[in-house]
Structure 1
Amino acid sequence: MKLLRHGPKGQEKPALLHTDGTVRDLSPALPDIVPGTLSQPGMAALRSLDASTLPIVPQGRLAVPWTGMRKFIAIGLNYADHAAEANMPIPKEPIVFTKTVDSAVGCNHPVVLPQGSVKSDWEVELGVVIGTRARYVSEADALNHVAGYCTINDVSEREYQLERGGTWDKGKGCDTFGPIGPWLVSADEVGDPQDLSMWLDVNGERQQTGNTRTMIFTVAQLVSYLSHFMTLEPGDLITTGTPPGVGMGKKPQPQFLKPGDVITLGIERLGEQKQTVFAWDPELIDG
């Protein structure tokens, strides 16, 4: 299943992308896609629906594919070749930081640079959406707690992240710095999360090409690891690191985002995103 939420801000409606390519309204079956929807019983109920009988609706503005997210957790340097381009050692354990829930926006929402930004960067990443509470789970059981997957752009302000006091969170959680979607794709439809190709372009030029098979820590390892430090609840999101090709690592000169840039990115089976970069404008953030 490919689940989505669309419509004007504050009036989003739940829907799914049918196999025939049409958007089908889920409103007759549920008021919204919330954490409870992502539970095993909730997903089973959605699978039991005959999507062909649901109303076809025109796709509106795409929002984050579910609502009620409590935690947006991120993993750093999870691809060995990205660690090398960042001149950082391969981590012995996952590097964990957080993105604010307020950074989460729909897949095509404008990316708005914060005031004073000089080193904002791009990162295509696999997102993992929790469907069943995970607390001290084993690696063997970890994927049973995953509802599905999504495409994420982990936009990052490198000066804030690396030069402003040593904590990554302040460069990762800016408003609009977490485009998500277009869909939440159910785990059964994705299959093996360790064999998904991924890419990102800036202004039509390929910057990142990778595959989740080159992760240092797999999705199962990450879910298990995190569950030993925090309780993962339905609707929580884990973004799992990026392959090489970020702007910070460009040679001979780093390349960072500027107003007017257009970012396009995608992950196999999970859909594509497109964002235009803007200078600071609170109306664009809230719109």
Structure 2
Amino acid sequence: MRIAAVHAAEGKIFGTVAHDEFRPILIDGAPAVDLRDVITLLDRAPDALRLGPSTVLSSLTLAAPVGPLTKNVICVGKNYHEHAKEFAQSGVDQSGDKQESPEFPVVFTKATSSLADPLQPVPASADPTGTVDYEGELGVVIGRRCSKVTAAEALDYVFGYTVVNDVTARALQQRHKQWFLGKSLDGFCPVGPWLVTADEMGPLDGQMLTTVVNGEQRQSAPLRDMIFDTATIIATVSAYVTLEPGDLIATGTPAGVGIGFRPPRYLAPGDVVTVSIEGIGSLTNPIA
């Protein structure tokens, strides 16, 4: 099942997407406005799913298909071998660990206020250093409360998958010797275009993640190339932080980010970035 969010008169509402049609998911007769309610409904009583009338999807404005988020977006850095290498050599990594292949997952967060919709302009002008970069990533949405789960059971706690662009102001990331500020500017976390439920997505393996900037492919890698797979990430985080339904995890980016070029190829107003993952779809955002 594909689950999208759109902007409507009631605000942001969630519904199903099929054949270019959107149908709102009804809870107590009204469109769902909280992804957690949708997750609960589909987990406890999938046969009770009720949908409103259909609307042509192209006539609607897509919203980020998550939220309201109750904790920061959980992110993993340096999680593809070639990207870990290019990042270690970039001079930006101030995490204190310059290993090209981390021994353990490198975990950080992005503020909930950084969340952005598909096609929403990314405000590069908000970065005074002019070093805005893209990072195409697989997003994982948690479906059940989990604490201290093993990697063997972790995928049982996944509700679905989406696409994330972990936009980053590189000079701020370096200046503050950590990653939170440089990655948490308003609008620096586009998510979409929708969620694909775990049962429809199937096993994560050879699905390709690609990022295109102004028609030029910059990133391309199969999901199997992650150093730490999704199950390991969930097990690692849940060992210390209880994950709740609706929580969003961004699983890291492959090689080909702007900082990896010589000279770096940062984003500028007028650019357009599209991150695609096979089996999910494409997330496009202009740069403003």
Give the TM-score normalised by structure 1: 0.89
* Residue in 1 that maps onto 2:208: 197
* Residue in 2 that maps onto 1:270: 280
Residues 1:161 and 2:162 are matched in the alignment? no
Q: Is 30-39 or 93-102 further displaced after alignment?
A: 30-39
Q: How many residues align?
A: 272
* Residue in 2 that maps onto 1:137: 149
Runs of 4 or more consecutive aligned structure 1 residues displaced over 3 Å after TM superposition? 27-30, 43-51
**Preserved CA contact (<8 Å) 2:127 2:169:** no
- Are residues 258 and 185 of structure 1, via their aligned partners in 2, closer, same or farther at CA, if it must alter by over 3 Å? same
**Preserved CA contact (<8 Å) 1:199 1:206:** yes
Pairwise CA distance, 1:8: 4.8
* Residue in 1 that maps onto 2:85: 84
* Residue in 2 that maps onto 1:38: 39
* Residue in 2 that maps onto 1:261: 271
**Preserved CA contact (<8 Å) 2:113 2:186:** yes
- Separation (CA, whole Å) in 2 of partners of 1:271 and 1:47: 27
- Separation (CA, whole Å) in 2 of partners of 1:103 and 1:165: 18
Identity of aligned residues (%): 37
Pairwise CA distance, 1:45: 3.6
Aligned mate of 1:170, from 160, 170, 181: 181
**Preserved CA contact (<8 Å) 2:75 2:251:** yes
- Are residues 62 and 117 of structure 1, via their aligned partners in 2, closer, same or farther at CA, if it must alter by over 3 Å? farther
Higher fraction of strand: 2
* Residue in 2 that maps onto 1:126: 138
Q: Is 227-236 or 56-65 further displaced after alignment?
A: 56-65
Kindly report which structure 2 residues correspond to 1:13-162, keeping only aligned pairs within 5 A, or say none. 13-18=13-18, 20-27=19-26, 28=29, 30-39=31-40, 41-43=41-43, 45-46=45-46, 49=49, 54-59=52-57, 60-71=60-71, 72-86=73-87, 87=89, 88-89=98-99, 90-113=101-124, 114-162=126-174
Cα distance per residue 1:8-36 (max 9 Å; x no partner): 58712221112x33222224465324213
- Separation (CA, whole Å) in 1 of partners of 2:85 and 2:9: 40
Any stretches of 5+ residues in structure 2 without a counterpart? 90-97
Any stretches of 5+ residues in structure 1 without a counterpart? 279-287
Q: Is 206-215 or 54-63 further displaced after alignment?
A: 54-63
- Are residues 10 and 178 of structure 1, via their aligned partners in 2, closer, same or farther at CA, if it must alter by over 3 Å? farther
**2:198 is matched by which residue type in structure 1?**
A
* Residue in 1 that maps onto 2:94: none
Pairwise CA distance, 1:84: 1.0
Give the TM-score normalised by structure 2: 0.89
Pairwise CA distance, 1:136: 0.5
The residue matched to 1:12 in structure 2 has which SS?
strand
**Preserved CA contact (<8 Å) 2:24 2:31:** no
Residues 1:225 and 2:226 are matched in the alignment? no
- Are residues 10 and 173 of structure 1, via their aligned partners in 2, closer, same or farther at CA, if it must alter by over 3 Å? farther
Aligned mate of 2:225, from 207, 214, 219: 214
Pairwise CA distance, 1:125: 0.1
Pairwise CA distance, 1:44: 5.6
